[in-house]
């Protein structure tokens, strides 16, 4: 699943994957999932044969979309796949393109933007609060006081259940909300403040380190 423009979120039992226009989401067969588009999204979906699917992860994953992978995805889902007036790819040509796509995903590797699903009630309460108000700058200690849990306990739960620190999780959450706002047409200054960054420069630095490009360039592209 690929968003040629806009942002996708893919939800599975393992959590929420954030898929901006420079990522590709992979969901194997038999994984229950649903997705949501944010902004003016051009969503492309490609299905793999079982023989090719077994070469990719056996679990949901998000990969970096290389320039070549992007062009292959656009080609496989372009007019030649649905327009009767355009000459369709032959079966062998399509198979070769799919193999190139799989090879590219394996070469670039996973580049996840992930919000894992917490099981503990205390973590669920915190993640729900911050998802509703991503600009909230409450510390983990302050959040713990609100729900009746110690900082030490919550730090352990974030590490053990979600595989990341509280700071890392909140940054991922804010980047997700930032991608949605950018897809809806908001500028970097509005997005920075709406997502809890003190100033646009700190937002730009965090966004660039995770997404690989500045918010301005991402919006333009």
**pLDDT over 70 percentage in the chain:** 100
Read off the pLDDT band of 175 (50, 70, 90).
very high
Question: Each residue of 37-48: pLDDT tens digit?
Answer: 988 889 999 999
**pTM as predicted:** 0.81
Question: Each residue of 70-98: pLDDT tens digit?
Answer: 999 999 998 877 777 777 889 899 999 99
**What integer pLDDT is reported at residue 112 of this predicted model?**
79
| Class at the top of the CATH hierarchy for domain 118-220 | mainly alpha
Question: Each residue of 98-152: pLDDT tens digit?
Answer: 999 999 999 988 887 888 889 999 999 999 999 999 999 999 999 999 999 999 9
Residues near 196 by Cβ (< 8 Å), separated by ≥ 6?
134, 135, 136, 137, 170, 174
**What integer pLDDT is reported at residue 199 of this predicted model?**
93
Closest CA to 143 of 123, 119, 169: 123
State the average pLDDT for the chain: 91
Return d(Cα 34, Cα 1) in angstroms, integer: 11
Question: Each residue of 202-215: pLDDT tens digit?
Answer: 999 999 999 988 99
Q: 114-116 and 2-12: which strand pairing?
A: unpaired
**What integer pLDDT is reported at residue 219 of this predicted model?**
81
Whether 30 has a pLDDT exceeding 90, the answer reads no
**What integer pLDDT is reported at residue 191 of this predicted model?**
96
Whether 157 has a pLDDT exceeding 90, the answer reads yes
Where in the chain is CATH 1.10.10.60?
118-220
**What integer pLDDT is reported at residue 86 of this predicted model?**
73
Return d(Cα 31, Cα 220) in angstroms, integer: 34
**What integer pLDDT is reported at residue 81 of this predicted model?**
78
**What integer pLDDT is reported at residue 200 of this predicted model?**
94
CA angle 204, 166, 198 (to 5 degrees): 35
**What integer pLDDT is reported at residue 214 of this predicted model?**
93
**What integer pLDDT is reported at residue 114 of this predicted model?**
83
CB atoms within 10 A of CB 136: 12
């Amino acid at each position: 699943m690929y968003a040629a423009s806009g942002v996708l979120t893919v939800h599975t039992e393992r959590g929420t994957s954030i898929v901006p226009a420079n990522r590709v989401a992979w969901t194997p067969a038999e994984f229950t999932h649903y997705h949501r588009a944010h902004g003016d999204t051009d969503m492309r979906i490609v299905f793999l044969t079982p023989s090719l699917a077994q070469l990719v992860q056996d679990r949901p994953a998000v990969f970096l979309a290389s320039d070549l992978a992007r062009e292959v995805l656009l080609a496989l889902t372009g007019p030649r796949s649905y327009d009767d007036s355009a000459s369709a790819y032959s079966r062998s040509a399509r198979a070769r393109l799919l193999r190139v796509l799989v090879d590219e995903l394996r070469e670039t590797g996973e580049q996840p933007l992930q919000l894992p699903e917490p099981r503990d009630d205390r973590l669920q309460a915190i993640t729900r609060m911050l998802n509703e108000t991503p600009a909230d700058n409450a510390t983990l200690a302050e959040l713990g006081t609100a729900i009746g849990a110690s900082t030490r306990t919550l730090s352990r739960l974030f590490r053990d259940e979600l595989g990341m620190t509280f700071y890392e999780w909140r940054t991922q959450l804010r980047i997700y909300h930032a991608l949605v706002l950018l897809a809806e047409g908001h500028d970097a200054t509005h997005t920075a403040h709406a997502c809890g960054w003190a100033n646009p420069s700190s937002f730009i630095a965090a966004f660039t380190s995770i997404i690989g490009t500045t918010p301005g360039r991402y919006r333009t592209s």
